[in-house]
Amino acid sequence: MVKGELFIVSGPSGAGKSTICRIVRKQLGINLATSATTREPREGELNGRDYYFLGVEEFKEKIQNKEFLEYATVHTNYYGTLKSEVEARLATGENVILEIDVQGGLQVKDVYPEAHLVFFRTPTSEDLERRLRGRKTDSEETIQLRLKNSLEELKYEDKYDITITNHTVEKSCEELVKIINSKN
């Protein structure tokens, strides 16, 4: 039976995961596995496209109903991968890319040991701060929390199979495409 490959992309907030994955998914025709979150939508984000934006009670109900492949508290909000976004796609041979935090990444690896773990980081911590600020989507408080949490997240890098240091968007996209193509 043809089975799709599962790619888990993690790394500090601002490392460039969404930017690179958006381009690569489009290039390779891979559908987005939409996560659920209790965080507020950012300007321009759409429910069902960027995330399923849920209330805390609704999220907890889905935990109870075992609808999540994994979930975690990240930067004070719940985030989770719905089984419904992943299982059928893999079974029908689609590749799936999950952009999730390191705690979630390792939970998924337990369920799918054959998953490929890809870690994203910036060349320097100054680049990370500059890019987080440049995104202009987060308050100062949120930026500070994300920078603080990035130090914790970077400790997980050696548990991942491969690291992409995001120097330029073009080069990082090339690297990710190469990784995906090499597993198919």
Q: Which spans of this chain sit near ligand 5GP (rule: CB under 6 A)?
A: 13, 35, 39, 70, 72, 74-75, 79-81, 99-101, 103-104
Cβ proximity to ligand ADP: between 5 and 99 the closer is 99
Q: How far is the CB of 28 from ligand 5GP (least distance, A)?
A: 20
Q: Are 15 and 121 spatial neighbours (Cβ–Cβ below 8 Å)?
A: yes
d(CA 81, CA 72): 9
Selected from 10, 17, 35, 100, the binder of ligand ADP by CB under 6 A is 17
For 24, phi then psi, to 5°, come to -70, -40
The answer to whether residue 83 forms part of the interface with ligand ADP (CB under 6 A) is no
Q: Are 128 and 122 spatial neighbours (Cβ–Cβ below 8 Å)?
A: yes
Q: How far is the CB of 57 from ligand ADP (least distance, A)?
A: 27
Selected from 59, 115, 166, 176, the binder of ligand ADP by CB under 6 A is 166
Cβ proximity to ligand ADP: between 12 and 80 the closer is 12
Residue number with the smallest Cβ distance to ligand 5GP: 104
Cβ proximity to ligand ADP: between 168 and 184 the closer is 168
End-to-end alpha-carbon separation of the chain, Å?
Answer: 14
Q: How far is the CB of 64 from ligand ADP (least distance, A)?
A: 29
Cβ proximity to ligand 5GP: between 13 and 122 the closer is 13
Q: Which does 168 bind (CB under 5 to 8 A by kind): ligand ADP, ligand 5GP, none?
A: ligand ADP
Cβ proximity to ligand 5GP: between 65 and 184 the closer is 65
- Binding residues (CB under 6 A) for ligand ADP: these are 13-19, 131, 134-135, 166, 168-169
